[in-house]
Amino acid sequence: MKIGLVLCPGFQPVCFGAVAAFDVANKQAGKKLYDMRVLSEGGGLVASSSALQVMTEAFDDAPYDTLIVAAGLEIPTSSPGLVRLLRAAAGDARRVAAICLGSFILGDAGLLNGRRATTHWRYAQTLQERFPSCQVEMDKIYIADGPIWTSAGMTAGTDLVVGLIERDHGVEVARSVAKGMVMYHRRSGGQSQHSTLLDLGTNEDRVQRALNFARQNLAQSLTIEDLAEAACLSPRQFTRLFRAETGTTPAKAVEALRVEAAKLMLEQSRLPIEVIAREVGFANRERMRLAFARLLGEVPRAIRNDAGPLAAL
């Protein structure tokens, strides 16, 4: 399968980390599953956002199985020539994808019209305003809507590429590629762009220790005494410090961690909902349902149904 990585001036070099997944797939298969080409509108050297220059081939009307557009840290300006080339090539390509802000270029080429898409959460509203016929979903790692694939932030591009590989060669190959790249876990497209631990972020080591302990032991009861012991504080000291550092209570933080873990399991496994509820520490399915409705505005069954086959491991 011929893959074209289309670089825009000022592109982020991290995009090469994403497409490296194709190389890993080739290596593990022992044959060339993917033929990578690096393209730009006119060919030649293209400078990245960090001044790294990359030699590219000229983007012409040659057929590609998959085209992936890579941009930089700012909303790109689409040249008329690139838009024309991309629009023409999309008619022949099986898939067209964009990493992060490359989605704006797909939009300028008219490829997002009537489709679902995502981009970095900071620019999702702008994408929606610029392309009102597109349904922008800011809280997704990546979205595959027919032949059009879009990812959130730069590192989510790797998740998107592993998703492409899964679509081509199945779950086992995708899992093997993720392991080969030492990915923490293979995130599904439906997973949130946000992390509970990041939202609760603190510079206080004792609070961080307690949060890490909680995440690693969600199936336990996780009382204030348990968390305080992990932080090496008395329960009263811990409660006071935790609220000062995070702006919330330990109980609410633990609930958020449990919801996040359960959501990932709903998206990436076929375990029964009752089993997931026990695995993450909810007393029963109903308590988990109420927590989901309170924190996410959705119930577990709806999240599982939205995840689709790509999310299943």
CA distance 5 to 24: 16
Which one of 8, 100, 134, 232 is the catalytic residue?
100
DSSP class of residue 184?
S
10 Å CB burial of residue 215 (0-12, 13-18, 19+) is middle
Residue 302 token pair: 């709806």
* 100 in active site: yes
Question: What residue type is assigned to position 193 of the chain?
Answer: Q
Question: What residue type is assigned to position 1 of the chain?
Answer: M
3-class SS of residue 288? helix
Phi and psi of 124, rounded to 5°? Answer: -65, -40
Q: How far apart are the first and last CA of the chain?
A: 24
For the CA atoms of the chain, what is the radius of gyration? Answer: 22
3-class SS of residue 11? strand
10 Å CB burial of residue 259 (0-12, 13-18, 19+) is buried
CA 305 to chain centre: 18
Q: What region does 281 belong to: left with phi over 0, alpha with psi -120 to 50, or beta?
A: left
Catalytic residues: 100
